[in-house]
């Protein structure tokens, strides 16, 4: 069903239905006050022209002055009430999206920061739909119905005419205009994509282009793409102007036809002169009711696209089966047998029969070329992902037989892109152990050799780390993530590329401190750096989703194979 | 903030035409609005006086004519505005691209911002030019025209309108200032609360890992609710602006209606005039309300224009030098006492650096992050000019040479080479678009890319996708090396060629790099001292200059640089000079 994302988004607001109804009524009252003021004033003036007594006008005078005030007041109420209701709904939706995301696997979606950012703005689109996409049309329906009833009461054909005019001006024209605008957007999409690619090449590649004397060609390509897009936009300008023209035409012709039948009705005696003035000015003022609708219709297209993506997330089944119950894992040796994982049916196996053992307290490294499946292994151990087949056992119990959170009591660590929250150092650390005392925090910071740096920050433990930890250096961020992992009681720490994006000096220091600080816990270090692996108890080389070599650093160097070859070739080893 | 930036008028011819067309449409539209009111008042007045369609027919028909006229004007004005907007965007876009590509070597973040600005950012000008500016013109014309007509019909009504009209912008400005002050005060709070959800969603894997995911759901609700409270507090004031506008506009119409009604009652006015005043009174306020409703469109348009001008007004880096220079297979580099400070920094990144590289020799430039390795390479590429000191190539000062002619002798392999959305062959032939297929094949072989190219569906004609997304980082690095081979340069500059590559790819890049350096002058900037095995010497940068030999003999840095960076590693002494 094509409209279903919008309907489902509106359904999300059902718990706030009463507030929205109030908002719609206030909006309708505001719009109706504007049109009603002119209708009433027309009656007042037309009646005054017949020179009645002042008392005959007194009610109309009071009402006119009252309407002069109600529009501003009701509009204010409408905006406050609908914004409040929309923000309340947003709170509900965010919690739903969050809870659903927390239950689905966070591996794929979180690979791209763009996807996450878009998801968040898609969630916020609910608010846009309710405030700008839903309330104005509903308020227009109520106010428009009022205007039509008044006109029909005065003269039936006049009412029908106004109804037809409002439907065409408030529904047909906005919907057609929005469709034309979408079609134009689709036609220009290819030209836009080409322009964007050409721009990325010319701007991001500016240095490469200059160095190779190719700037002129890249700029020429941007200009060609720009010319194509501009030509398309200029061609479509004619179509896009149709909405504004049609709106003006419908309003003007409705006024004309109302005058025509109104004067005719006065002529044949079916309409008085006072009702004529009211009818005509009502027709004149009513189009203000539908004026905001083209903008609302245009917005709905974008909101619907957001809704589709949003429900795509809400409808995704959890990727980690919850076995239920309250099973717990006993710390012990980790046995991985014949592990098979892929991201979708039909795709190649990322892990293709992987076997691995980590004894209690053992320090084990998994190395291999990029894309060999190392991080997928970490995701399985973190319970972000269920294996398609094979088993992971800890202390004799299968990891998948206990609830994910029970498994994470025993297995924790540092995921590939550890997130630092926009908060204090202490709050980021206490995620791992909410009841940790300040002394505990200082202790763990000392173990990762971050205590002096934190002490030097204004506020110490209370220092703000900034968005994504931007106030810390790359090395400090990794150390803080490691400190957080150390605060858990997990007996197996999985560290997924804890030293990427660090320069070599920092990298060596962090790795050294990390192995010292983990003490007697078991460690699985996933890395593509071959430095300093001499301290590991065992090294597993993973290529194409399976272990092709394993042994100690010395043993692997002594044997021919990937490890020795890669080690000898890596410049750092020279 | 001005409603119409004069720089916009100057920058884009299309905007000047647009403003003229918009003003003309505005005048015509004002005329039609007045005509329609006059016609409607006279038809109702006439019918009340007992005239029938036979007498009023022409007036009624004229209403249809006005309707068509307004529709044509509305259509024409919007279509013309969108055309102008398309052209203005194009003019600004081209100027920005020309301006920015002129000064390479800036951060990728800036490039991203400029790319966004020149595509989606400038689209804000559509609404600004096509919907905001025309309303602004009407807001200036219609109230005055209405006031003049109403004054000629009924001066008391004119006074009511004349008093209330100026109050609207006044009160709106007052409310706006108050809102701004309050928002500014709460800005940090609003930012933090508003960003919380994104922060939590981004950090979900981390929260899950620490078994905090479920507990955090309650926090999401609490923070969103706090955000709502803070936002509503601001909105209560912000909405006052619209409240004042609607209240004054409607109240004025109500006052005019009542006043006109009483004058009519006592016979001081006729019905047609009263109707004319009543119909025109709301028209005086309508354009003001429309401008208010399009306020956001205007802000976005103005912001986009301001970002565009901020870029266009940044000074263009002067690239001096016109002397020709020709290839001779190698180059003699002499760097003397060079100092360079990045814009906006206090401490120089290069501080009296001296280094000489003899023809055909290669140097490994190493040192901690930020020691100035990449800066030195960008000076050699003429992406920037040193603030003091000289760089000489074959005895000629670099700044005297024509930049393009000099760069034609240089091949540069950056840490993250940019691959263009074209074929593999296009990317390799970046510096030599006329290269033949044998030359490209030779470069492919030299860069160790033969197997990679063979595995691609269309070989050298395979498109690599945006930023070379189809290839791995190591493959991209080797495409950049093939670029360098094809250029057959006199000077090779490499910047961290294997950082962040896995060992297999690093080895392939290293082997190709060694081939590329054979017989040419070369500088490799890298952390890894392992590169010293394939260069003739190693030089350590520290404190913006060449540092004394490691484990050295106490030779002061000045003296070391004085002898052109004859650095540590026993073999360097004889080779470099």
User: Mean pLDDT throughout B235-240?
Assistant: 86
pLDDT at A392: 93
A 10 A CB-CB count for B146 gives 27
- Verify whether the Cβ–Cβ distance B243 to A76 is below 8 Å: yes
Which of B82, B278, B528 is closest, CB to CB, to A504?
B528
A148, A162 contact by CB (below 8 A): yes
**ipTM greater than 0.85, yes or no?**
no
* Three-point CA angle A274, A278, A280, nearest 5°: 115
B502, A528 contact by CB (below 8 A): yes
Which of B48, B78, B506 is closest, CB to CB, to A569?
B506
Alpha-carbon distance A1 to nearest alpha carbon in chain B (angstroms): 29
pLDDT at A308: 86
How many angstroms separate the CA atoms of B484 and B481, rounded? 5
Give, rounded to a whole angstrom, the gap between the first and last alpha carbons of chain A. Answer: 64
Q: In terms of pLDDT, which residue wins out, A523 or B554?
A: A523
| Closest of A508, A559, A560 to residue A535, by C-alpha | A508
- Verify whether the Cβ–Cβ distance A120 to B467 is below 8 Å: no
Alpha-carbon distance B301 to nearest alpha carbon in chain A (angstroms): 17
Name the band, by pLDDT with cuts 50, 70 and 90, for residue A104.
low
Q: What is the mean pLDDT of chain B?
A: 84
Question: Would strands A363-367 and A522-526 be described as parallel, antiparallel, or unpaired?
Answer: parallel
B419, B476 contact by CB (below 8 A): yes
A 10 A CB-CB count for A325 gives 10
Which of A98, A284, A418 is closest, CB to CB, to B200?
A98
Quick one: closest CA in B to A120, which residue? B198
Q: What is the 3-state secondary structure (H, E, C) of B426-470?
A: HHHHHHCCCCCHHHHHHHHHHCCCHHHHHHCCCHHHCECCHHHCC
Quick one: closest CA in B to A78, which residue? B239
Q: Pick the residue of B53, B205, B276, B427 with the most A CBs within 10 A to test the interface with A by mutation.
A: B205
Name the band, by pLDDT with cuts 50, 70 and 90, for residue A369.
confident
Q: In terms of pLDDT, which residue wins out, B288 or B10?
A: B288
Which of A206, A241, A251 is closest, CB to CB, to B104?
A206
How many angstroms separate the CA atoms of B96 and A197, rounded? 16
Alpha-carbon distance A413 to nearest alpha carbon in chain B (angstroms): 8
- Verify whether the Cβ–Cβ distance A197 to B254 is below 8 Å: no
Name the band, by pLDDT with cuts 50, 70 and 90, for residue B66.
very high
Show Cβ contacts of residue B509 under 8 Å, excluding neighbours closer than 6 positions.
B448, B474, B477, B478, B481, B497, B498, B501
- Verify whether the Cβ–Cβ distance B257 to A44 is below 8 Å: yes
User: Per-residue pLDDT for B555 more than 70?
Assistant: no
Please provide residue A413's backbone torsions phi and psi, each rounded to the nearest 5 degrees.
Answer: 150, -145
A45, A96 contact by CB (below 8 A): no
B282 chain-A contacts, CB cut-off 8 A: 34, 38, 285
User: Per-residue pLDDT for A55 more than 90?
Assistant: no
Show Cβ contacts of residue A365 under 8 Å, excluding neighbours closer than 6 positions.
A524, A525, A526, A527, A533, A536, A538, A539, A540
How much of chain B, in percent, has pLDDT values that exceed 90?
A: 28
- Verify whether the Cβ–Cβ distance A259 to B275 is below 8 Å: no
- Verify whether the Cβ–Cβ distance A263 to B67 is below 8 Å: no
- A421 and B CB contact within 8 Å: yes
**DSSP symbols for B541-576:** EETTEEPPPTT-----HHHHHHTT---SSTTHHHHH
User: Per-residue pLDDT for A558 more than 80?
Assistant: yes
Alpha-carbon distance B437 to nearest alpha carbon in chain A (angstroms): 19
Which of B208, B381, B483 is closest, CB to CB, to A102?
B208
- A99 and B CB contact within 8 Å: yes
Residue A363 burial by Cβ neighbours in a 10 Å radius (0-12, 13-18, 19+): buried
CB pairs under 8 A between A and B: 476
Residues 123-182 of A with CB under 8 A from B: 123
| Closest of A184, A292, A175, A293 to residue A240, by C-alpha | A184
- A195 and B CB contact within 8 Å: yes
Range with the largest mean pLDDT of B113-122, B492-501, B536-545: B536-545
Least-confidence region, from A207-216, B84-93, B116-125, B318-327: B318-327
Show Cβ contacts of residue B116 under 8 Å, excluding neighbours closer than 6 positions.
none
User: Mean pLDDT throughout B268-274?
Assistant: 90
User: Per-residue pLDDT for A331 more than 90?
Assistant: no
User: Per-residue pLDDT for A246 more than 60?
Assistant: yes
- Verify whether the Cβ–Cβ distance A566 to B503 is below 8 Å: yes
User: Mean pLDDT throughout B290-294?
Assistant: 80
pLDDT tens, B462-513?
A: 988 878 878 888 888 889 999 999 998 999 999 888 876 777 778 888 888 8
Please provide residue B138's backbone torsions phi and psi, each rounded to the nearest 5 degrees.
Answer: -65, -40
How many angstroms separate the CA atoms of A63 and B456, rounded? 80
- A455 and B CB contact within 8 Å: no
pLDDT tens, A146-201?
A: 999 999 999 999 999 999 999 999 999 999 998 998 888 888 888 888 888 888 88
Quick one: closest CA in B to A278, which residue? B44
Question: Would strands A522-526 and A492-496 be described as parallel, antiparallel, or unpaired?
Answer: parallel
How much of chain A, in percent, has pLDDT values that exceed 70?
A: 95
- The backbone region for A184, taken as left when phi is positive above 0, alpha when psi lies in -120 to 50, beta otherwise, is alpha
Q: In terms of pLDDT, which residue wins out, B135 or B297?
A: B135
User: Mean pLDDT throughout B329-341?
Assistant: 91
| Closest of A460, A490, A382, A96 to residue B207, by C-alpha | A382
Q: What is the pTM of this model?
A: 0.79
Alpha-carbon distance B81 to nearest alpha carbon in chain A (angstroms): 8
- Verify whether the Cβ–Cβ distance B232 to A238 is below 8 Å: no
Quick one: closest CA in A to B257, which residue? A41
B378 chain-A contacts, CB cut-off 8 A: 207
């Amino acid at each position: 069903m094509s409209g279903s994302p919008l309907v489902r988004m509106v359904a999300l607001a059902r718990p706030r239905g009463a507030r929205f109804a109030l908002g719609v009524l206030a909006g309708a009252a505001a719009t109706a006050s504007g049109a009603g003021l002119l209708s009433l004033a027309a009656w007042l003036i037309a009646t005054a022209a017949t020179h009645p007594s002042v008392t005959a006008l007194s009610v109309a005078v009071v009402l006119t002055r009252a309407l002069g005030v109600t529009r501003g007041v009701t509009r204010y109420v409408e905006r406050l009430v609908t914004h409040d209701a929309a923000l309340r709904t947003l709170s509900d939706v965010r919690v739903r999206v969050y809870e659903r995301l927390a239950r689905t696997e966070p591996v794929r979606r979180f690979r791209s920061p763009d996807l996450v950012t878009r998801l968040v703005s898609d969630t916020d689109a609910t608010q846009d739909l309710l405030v700008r996409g839903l309330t104005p049309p509903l308020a227009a329906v109520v106010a428009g119905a009022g205007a039509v009833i008044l006109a029909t009461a005065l003269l039936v054909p006049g009412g029908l005419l106004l109804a037809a005019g409002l439907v065409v001006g408030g529904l047909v024209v906005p919907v057609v205009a929005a469709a034309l605008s979408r079609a134009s957007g689709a036609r220009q999409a290819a030209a836009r994509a080409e322009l964007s690619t050409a721009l990325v090449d010319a701007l991001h590649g500016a240095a490469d282009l200059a160095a190779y004397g190719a700037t002129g060609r890249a700029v020429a390509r941007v200009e060609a793409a720009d010319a194509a897009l501009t030509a398309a936009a200029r061609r479509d300008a004619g179509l896009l102007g149709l909405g504004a023209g049609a709106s003006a035409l419908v309003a003007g012709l409705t006024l004309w036809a109302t005058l025509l039948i109104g004067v005719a009705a006065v002529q044949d005696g079916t309409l008085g002169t006072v009702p004529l003035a009211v009818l005509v000015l009502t027709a004149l003022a009513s189009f203000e009711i539908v004026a905001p609708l083209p903008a609302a219709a245009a917005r709905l297209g974008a909101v619907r696209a957001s809704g589709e993506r949003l429900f795509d997330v809400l409808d995704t089944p959890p990727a980690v089966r919850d076995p239920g119950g309250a099973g717990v894992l006993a710390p012990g040796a980790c046995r991985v047998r014949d592990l098979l994982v892929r991201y979708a049916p039909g795709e190649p196996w990322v892990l293709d029969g992987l076997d691995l053992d980590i004894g209690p307290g053992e320090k084990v490294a998994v190395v291999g070329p990029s894309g060999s499946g190392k991080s997928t292994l970490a995701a399985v151990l973190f319970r972000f992902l269920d294996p398609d087949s094979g088993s992971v056992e800890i202390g004799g119990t299968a990891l998948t037989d206990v609830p994910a959170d029970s498994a994470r009591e025993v297995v924790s660590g540092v995921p590939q892109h550890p997130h630092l929250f926009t908060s204090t150092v202490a709050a980021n650390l206490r995620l791992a152990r909410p009841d940790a005392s300040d002394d505990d925090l200082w202790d763990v910071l000392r173990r990762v050799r971050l205590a002096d740096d934190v002490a030097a920050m204004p506020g110490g433990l209370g220092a703000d780390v900034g968005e994504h930890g931007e106030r810390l250096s790359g090395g400090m961020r990794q150390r803080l993530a490691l400190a957080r992992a150390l605060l858990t009681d997990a007996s197996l720490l999985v560290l997924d590329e804890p030293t990427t994006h660090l320069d070599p000096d920092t990298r060596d220091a962090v790795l050294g401190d990390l192995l010292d600080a983990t003490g007697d816990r078991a460690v699985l270090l996933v890395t593509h750096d071959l430095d300093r692996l001499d301290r590991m108890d065992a090294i597993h080389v993973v290529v194409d989703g399976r272990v092709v070599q394993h042994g100690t650093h010395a043993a692997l160097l002594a044997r021919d194979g990937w490890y020795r070859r890669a080690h000898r070739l890596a410049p750092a080893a020279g | 903030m001005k409603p119409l930036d004069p720089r916009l008028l100057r920058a884009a011819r299309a905007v000047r035409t647009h403003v003229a067309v918009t003003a003309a449409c505005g005048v015509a539209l004002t005329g039609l609005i007045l005509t329609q009111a006059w016609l409607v008042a006279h038809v109702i007045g006439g019918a009340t006086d007992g005239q029938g369609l036979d007498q009023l027919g022409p007036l009624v028909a004229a209403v249809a004519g006005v309707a068509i006229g307004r529709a044509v004007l509305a259509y024409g004005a919007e279509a013309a505005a969108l055309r102008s907007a398309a052209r203005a965007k194009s003019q600004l876009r081209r100027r920005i691209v020309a301006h920015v590509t002129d000064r390479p070597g800036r951060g990728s973040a800036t490039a991203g911002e400029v790319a966004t600005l020149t595509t989606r950012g400038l689209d804000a000008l559509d609404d600004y030019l096509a919907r905001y500016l025309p309303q602004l013109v009407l807001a200036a014309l219609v109230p005055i025209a209405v006031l003049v007509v109403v004054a000629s019909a009924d001066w008391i009504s004119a006074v009511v309108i004349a008093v209330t009209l100026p109050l609207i912008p006044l009160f709106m400005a007052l409310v706006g200032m108050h809102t701004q002050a309050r928002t500014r005060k709460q800005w940090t709070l609003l930012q933090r609360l508003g960003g919380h959800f994104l922060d939590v969603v981004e950090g979900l894997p981390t929260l899950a890992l620490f078994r905090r995911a479920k507990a955090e759901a309650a926090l999401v609700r609490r923070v969103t609710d706090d955000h709502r409270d803070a936002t509503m507090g601001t909105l209560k004031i912000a909405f006052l602006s619209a409240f004042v506008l609607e209240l004054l506009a409607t109240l004025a119409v109500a006052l005019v209606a009542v006043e006109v009604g009483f004058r009519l009652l006592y016979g001081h006015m006729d019905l047609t005039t009263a109707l004319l005043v009543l119909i025109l009174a709301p028209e005086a306020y309508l354009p003001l309300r429309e401008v208010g409703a399009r306020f956001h469109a205007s802000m976005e348009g103005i912001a986009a224009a301001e970002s565009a001008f901020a870029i266009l007004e940044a000074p263009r880096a002067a690239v001096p030098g016109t002397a020709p220079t020709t290839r001779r297979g190698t180059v003699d580099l002499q760097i003397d006492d060079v100092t360079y400070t990045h814009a906006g920094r206090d401490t120089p990144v290069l501080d009296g650096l001296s280094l000489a590289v003899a023809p055909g020799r290669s140097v490994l430039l190493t040192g901690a992050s930020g020691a100035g390795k990449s800066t030195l390479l960008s000076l050699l590429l003429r992406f920037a000019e040193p603030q003091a000191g000289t760089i000489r190539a074959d005895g000629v000062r670099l700044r005297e040479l024509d930049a393009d002619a000099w760069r034609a002798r240089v091949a540069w392999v950056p840490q993250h080479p940019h691959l263009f959305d074209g074929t593999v062959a296009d990317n390799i032939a970046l510096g030599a678009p006329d290269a033949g297929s044998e030359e490209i094949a030779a470069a492919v072989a030299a860069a160790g890319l033969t197997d990679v190219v063979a595995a691609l569906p269309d070989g050298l004609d395979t498109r690599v996708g945006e930023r070379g997304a189809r290839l791995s980082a190591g493959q991209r690095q080797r495409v950049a090396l093939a670029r360098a081979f094809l250029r057959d340069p006199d000077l090779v500059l490499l910047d961290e060629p294997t950082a962040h590559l896995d060992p297999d790819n690093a080895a392939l890049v290293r082997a190709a790099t060694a081939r590329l350096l054979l017989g040419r002058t070369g500088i490799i900037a890298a952390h890894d001292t392992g590169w010293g095995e394939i260069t003739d010497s190693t030089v350590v940068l520290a404190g913006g200059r060449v540092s004394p030999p490691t484990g050295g003999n106490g030779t002061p840095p000045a003296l070391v640089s004085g002898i052109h960076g004859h650095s540590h590693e026993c073999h360097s002494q004889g080779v470099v000079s």
